[in-house]
Amino acid sequence: MKIATWNINGVKARIDTVLAWLQEARPDVACLQEIKSVDEAFPCQPFEDLGYNVATHGQKGFNGVALLSKRPLEDVRRGLPGDDGDEQARYIEACVSTDRGAVRVGCLYLPNGNPLGTDKFPYKLAWMDRLRRHAALRLAEEQPFLLLGDYNVIPEPKDARNPQDWLGDALFQPESRQHFRALVNLGFTEAVRACTDAADTYTFWDYQAGAWQKNNGIRIDHVLLSPQAGDLLASCGIDKHVRAWEKPSDHVPVWVELAA
């Protein structure tokens, strides 16, 4: 079972690219972030034509997440629990049944937090606190659970080509990294680093200053696996080549293969 995550940076702008990748990579489940579309305007039909069931949690012009699945999506839940007043569409979760039982998938688009010194950074940290509390409840259920998406966190200096360039950025602040470690330390396996410790392992290259051409990247898209999902981990990868396609997102897909 192949499960992938990708911040597509706008479904309307990137739909041809996304469809081409789906046909090439053939994930069983795809988690999309920054769809930038309200639910009723999301172009479901092209994805359904490829055999995917679609669930979205969107808002106009910003944020938004979606789940695509070859198998039915069950128990779909929209929004991260813990703050009923939060109107930003950043989390969607569902179960997918397999021959070996159900797998629960949480797709997230974690707040960026910039610029520092504004209310955006405390919002990021508070959102991460909510995520950790929710994840702890899911882990207590002791079932295969994946928490994947654009975390907007650079976990370690080796996850940036030029870490010094990010010292004043919310993605690399000590508080952001500490919150990410606290989440992982609940008992998750961080899939990419479980499979490789290689340098120059990135998932994002900015559109500016020739970042892609210089390989000036960072790793901010992550797949976390519960112990039960980690036991099923067969392989993982980053589809870096997609960044060189026409009209690319600034992120690339990250995927895992589970023996499920």
Q: At what angle do helices 174-184 and 120-140 cross, to 10 degrees?
A: 10
Q: Partners of 224 in the beta sheet?
A: 147, 190
Q: Is 109 among the catalytic positions?
A: yes
pLDDT at 100: 82
Asked if 231 and 210 touch (Cβ cutoff 8 Å), the reply is no
Residue stretches of the annotated binding site: 7, 34, 150, 152, 250-251
Q: Consecutive 10-residue runs of the chain (260 residues): their mean pLDDT?
A: 98 98 98 98 98 98 98 98 96 94 97 98 98 98 98 98 98 98 98 96 96 98 98 98 97 95
């360039």: which residue's tokens? Answer: 165
Asked if 222 and 253 touch (Cβ cutoff 8 Å), the reply is no
Residue 168 to residue 190: CA distance in whole angstroms? 25
pLDDT at 88: 98
Catalytic residue among 57, 134, 179, 251: 251
pLDDT at 16: 98
pLDDT at 127: 98
Asked if 29 and 4 touch (Cβ cutoff 8 Å), the reply is yes
Q: Is 49 among the catalytic positions?
A: no
pLDDT at 99: 86
Containing 175, the helix (H) or strand (E) segment is helix 174-184
* Domain extent at residue 212: 2-258
Count CB atoms within 10 A of the CB of residue 65.
Answer: 29
Catalytic residue among 52, 91, 109, 202: 109
Residue 86 to residue 231: CA distance in whole angstroms? 34
Residue stretches of the annotated binding site for Mg(2+): 7, 34, 150, 152, 250-251
Catalytic residue among 28, 150, 159, 169: 150
CATH number assigned to the domain comprising residue 75? 3.60.10.10
Give ∠ CA 127-116-186 in degrees, rounded to 5.
35
Sheet of strand 29-33: strand arrangement: 53-57, 65-69, 29-33, 2-7, 254-258, 233-238
Residue 148 to residue 17: CA distance in whole angstroms? 21
Q: Is 222 among the catalytic positions?
A: no
- Indicate the residue type of 183: L
Residue 224 CA: distances (Å) to CA of 119, 185, 207: 27, 11, 27
What is the tally of structural domains in the chain? 1
